Structure 1
């Protein structure tokens, strides 16, 4: 190929073009090969999976099935129809497979650590998440979908470097925090103060009618994410912490709008931008 420089023709050999194409391909391959999809490389802007906005943690809901013409925030099924509820059970099985099988996550087997509030993960390690802690919200029970008391899993997505400022004393609890959560934290302050370093979780009906129809809710294993799960999020094998939320007696045949929030002093709640908040709907026949 020829081009003109200062009025003089210059011939560019095709080999230069070939070399350039090869170089770009090699760089792209190296970037793709070395990027761990579980590491939060970009923390500005949200995705459907992470909901991390401007460095503020976000929440995600599972199960989720995306279909044409239907909102992916709607969890709708017939508890008397196995084909109807098993779609959601299968989606949860697929989501939880990495939590159940550590070898499926790159680096998890080598880096896994048995954490608790006294023993957070050391540098280079990630915390084990035991699926048995979610019982009765387990696959063998169909996550209670067939009993019209479904278990919905909430995942906390935290950006790299974020350190939670805990609500770990009753005098600092905000008035807008749900009363049941404030009562629980206050009781735990007396009985188990060593476990107060937690990013708390609440789930409620959005509107008064939703609050009437949502029924009692149970959080498993606890109503929040222990703080040690927010450490080392950039280490290979890290999986975001999850909580099972069991809706024990929701009103059947009624659309219920649910809003869940993560609670820490440095988590902002913004419904429009999904900061610290997640919304979904339940419709069970």
Structure 2
């Protein structure tokens, strides 16, 4: 068929068009011709494609066409959602929700090391991205760009409330004082855990209590430490003075053999010069060092489990100076790494008291 500018393709809705017939631009049809379309013709086609009042079409489809395609995609999405839900249901049915399938040396935690290695966590912490504790001891609330100590006190109160809330599962926790770990271990796997008595801090008249604002208002902050939970990990504690690191040999006592030892200090020599006195408040009967009792391990997802806690009391530090603090946990199966990327067996935070 010979090319003709007035010829319209039969495959589309069209209107007989002639280049001399300018009124064709006002017709409710798509303009199709062999020659290149002008800008006015392209704009006309676009408007008609967006909405054609003659055929009641939107974007080239009438209501029935859009209904069909919507029904198709709805059925397709429901089918895919059903397949996904089925696989999730099968996965949840065959996977134990309490016991991880890979643990110990096979767990993801042990990929970078030869064995699982717990770290430490600290409170208060403004956010998980920040490790700085900065405040003015003379101001309780937030002031300008600086934090008042009131916010840190509230964070500690909220965290400690978790240990005093009326949780039925927590009521199942048992008193483990004086009980050997060999007798406790079978009970742990039955879902029971040791009760951590948060009131001991108050009973020992420590400064790290909410009634004394955790000493933040005096520029002597209390920082809370906890050991990160690793399923089925059990500490191998030091049993005599010959096994412990050098800094503990002079203060070794027989009760230390039941504890994961914890010590905090300045991260560098300069930081150590700014820390004059530290005291520890934990289940141990000494303030020279902190400790987590071994009876709280292993953690096996017991209902109502509460991690043991240590308060580190910075009794005397330099003010208006940034102090980098590192706290380390010590046991025979806890390794340490000084790399900034991998802080194994330790935690780092900064202190500025103005």
What TM-score range do you get, normalising by the shorter chain? 0.7 to 0.9
1:170-189 superposed matches below 5 A? 170-175=241-246, 179=247, 181-185=248-252, 188-189=253-254
1:260 shift after superposition: 0.6
Alpha-carbon separation, structure 1, partners of 2:165 and 2:101: 22
Find the counterpart in structure 1 of residue 138 from structure 2: 80
Residues 209 and 18 of structure 1: CA distance in aligned 2, closer, same or farther (over 3 Å): closer
Residues 17 and 252 of structure 1: CA distance in aligned 2, closer, same or farther (over 3 Å): closer
Larger radius of gyration: 2
Task: With the length of structure 2 as denominator, give the TM-score of the two structures.
Answer: 0.63
Task: With the length of structure 1 as denominator, give the TM-score of the two structures.
Answer: 0.77
RMSD over aligned Cα, in angstroms? 3.1
Equivalent in 85, 93, 96 of residue 157 of structure 2: 93
Find the counterpart in structure 2 of residue 279 from structure 1: 348
Output one character per residue of 1:72-109: Cα deviation in whole Å (capped at 9) or x when no partner. Answer: 11100000001100111111112222112251xx7322
Relative to its length, the structure with more strand (as a share) is 1
1:198 shift after superposition: 0.8
Output one character per residue of 1:132-154: Cα deviation in whole Å (capped at 9) or x when no partner. Answer: 22233112211111111111011
Aligned residues: 250
Paired residue secondary structure (2:200): helix
Q: Larger deviation: 14-23 or 91-100?
A: 14-23
Output one character per residue of 1:218-241: Cα deviation in whole Å (capped at 9) or x when no partner. Answer: 110231101101234421221222
Output one character per residue of 1:164-198: Cα deviation in whole Å (capped at 9) or x when no partner. Answer: 111120111233xxx2x33222xx23xxx4x5221
Find the counterpart in structure 1 of residue 170 from structure 2: 108
1:1-285 superposed matches below 5 A? 14=76, 16-17=79-80, 19-23=82-86, 44-45=108-109, 55-66=116-127, 72-83=130-141, 84-101=148-165, 103=167, 107-109=169-171, 111-120=172-181, 121=184, 122-123=187-188, 124-134=191-201, 135-175=206-246, 179=247, 181-185=248-252, 188-189=253-254, 193=255, 196-221=257-282, 222=284, 223-272=290-339, 273-285=342-354
Q: Tell me: higher relative CO, structure 1 or 2? Use CA pairs within 8 A at least 6 residues apart.
A: 1
Residues 218 and 262 of structure 1: CA distance in aligned 2, closer, same or farther (over 3 Å): same
**Structure 1: unaligned runs, 5 residues or longer:** 1-12, 47-51
Q: Larger deviation: 221-230 or 118-127?
A: 118-127
Alpha-carbon separation, structure 1, partners of 2:311 and 2:102: 27
Alpha-carbon separation, structure 1, partners of 2:235 and 2:125: 27
Paired residue secondary structure (1:261): strand
Residues 25 and 76 of structure 1: CA distance in aligned 2, closer, same or farther (over 3 Å): same
Alpha-carbon separation, structure 2, partners of 1:28 and 1:63: 38
List 4+ stretches of structure 1 deviating above 4 A.
Answer: 13-16, 24-31, 39-43
